[in-house]
Structure 1
């Protein structure tokens, strides 16, 4: 299995790489490939045809090239300081057309890992390219660090509809089964009795249910994130919540609130 790490900022490289190693603990034999970004996110989000991106004679002379070099420096620094048993890690350079390269590499991966920087908009173009590949995406805060050296030990699942139909739950099975604790978070307008077991999240999987009422002072995404953090979860699994497109969901208010409020790693899929 391949874990693809997409680094958009040097400042978030350690978070990306640590998250990839944590995820790899549940994927025996996984390898990690690391890609920096080259083309600006603004160009990609503008949806310009791929043929409009002209090859560069010397990418190092551009601001994007300097950003990629800084990302590689951060990667090398991480390699020097990483003390754990890491899977094989390989650095890759992108071609001239970043969205095409990222999408192609993502389609060949089992998981894509990114970090959320201070400016979430800076990565949106890359997010769009990744979501088009329909590969599960792990997003961590820019300064995220693992709580446990052995991976994600407590996994929470945001349940907003029939979890058995959730692509996110299917994608999360390796981490759900490797976790020492699994909690299903459900937010209701009125408090109801929680389901008696966790069959919706996986057969023979022991699940704790955390059912709370909707808070009027918080957006839904913020409340999901805060509940997961308060429970001490290492990973929060979320689906598309009824949207036909995860790109649409990414741009929606619930996801914005979730990303902005979460200090927990997020696994998204559609």
Structure 2
């Protein structure tokens, strides 16, 4: 069960949809909601930059970063009070968003972020990629224009028998238990040997049934790749959540050349739960 949910707080337009979903989940599971804002840099690193003759950064500039983060949290407070969230808190961390959320993830059940552009700070990875890859908890990625607060009514689980997919399914269990319908999707399962058991998807369905989750296993053939097939299936059945393992292949290959994880992030119109 999700009892602590962390939502990334900033002043970008995506904040509204991200917070709506996080707040909806907090209400559904009676969870504590943590709003996490950042300064963008730690005070220690800022001071180190300021010791350089080329930089000469005034202390007042860091104070403005703190004030900016506090203003974001003030807006967060107004919104959670309007939404009537029973249990919540706000935190300002002196770091960049990626490393701040990695810290928060140690003591949370779910991290909620928005889809974002890659940043040079994280070696070309977007914030969702960075936190999913290096963090200890599942990451729920909310599209920037996602309407409403629903997530997890109808769910598509991307299953390929990998360690990453297993962790994603485990991290999504509270959502799967409360879902109206769950489809376990296997794309081209005949191309992978030794990961599924005797009948592809059957063992996962049995395991989920023991957790109170009834599923339908769907095996599909696709010539265009796993991500387009999964997104197509999710749209076809009106899913409002897609669950998938992140970076089953080399993360460096996916960062440079792209791959299923990035294709899912780029193409999804519904919340996407990732775990590595």
Q: Which bracket does the TM-score occupy, shorter chain normalised?
A: 0.7 to 0.9
Question: Counterpart in 2 of 1:6?
Answer: 8
Q: Which moved more, 1:162-171 or 1:16-25?
A: 162-171
- Cα pair 2:184 2:201 within 8 Å, conserved: no
Write the distance in 1 (CA, Å) between the matches of 2:85 and 2:101.
23
> Is residue 54 from structure 1 mapped to residue 47 from structure 2 by the alignment?
yes
Shift of 1:178: 1.0
Structure 1: where are the runs of 5+ without partners? 45-49
Equivalent in the alignment of 1:89: 88
Shift, 1:182, TM fit: 0.9
Structure 1 position 57, deviation (Å): 2.9
Q: Sort the Cα spacing of 1:253 and 1:32 in 2 relative to 1 into closer, same or farther, 3 A.
A: same
Alignment of 1:1-270 (within 5 A): 1-25=3-27, 27-28=29-30, 30-39=31-40, 52-54=45-47, 57-58=59-60, 59=62, 61=64, 66=68, 68=69, 71-72=72-73, 74-76=75-77, 78-79=79-80, 81-82=82-83, 86-96=85-95, 99-117=98-116, 119-121=117-119, 124=125, 126-127=127-128, 128=130, 131-146=133-148, 148=150, 152-161=152-161, 166-188=166-188, 195=201, 198-203=205-210, 204-216=212-224, 219-240=225-246, 242-243=248-249, 252-270=258-276
CA distance in 2, matches of 1:100, 1:205: 34
CA contact (8 A) 2:164 2:275 kept: no
Q: How many residues align?
A: 250
Note the alpha carbon deviations across 1:199-230, whole angstroms, 9 max, x for none.
Answer: 144424211123221133xx432332232122
Using a 3 Å threshold, how does the CA distance of structure 1 residues 160 and 99 change in structure 2: closer, same or farther? closer
- Give the gaps of 5 or more residues in structure 2: 49-57, 192-198
Cα RMSD after superposing both structures? 3.6
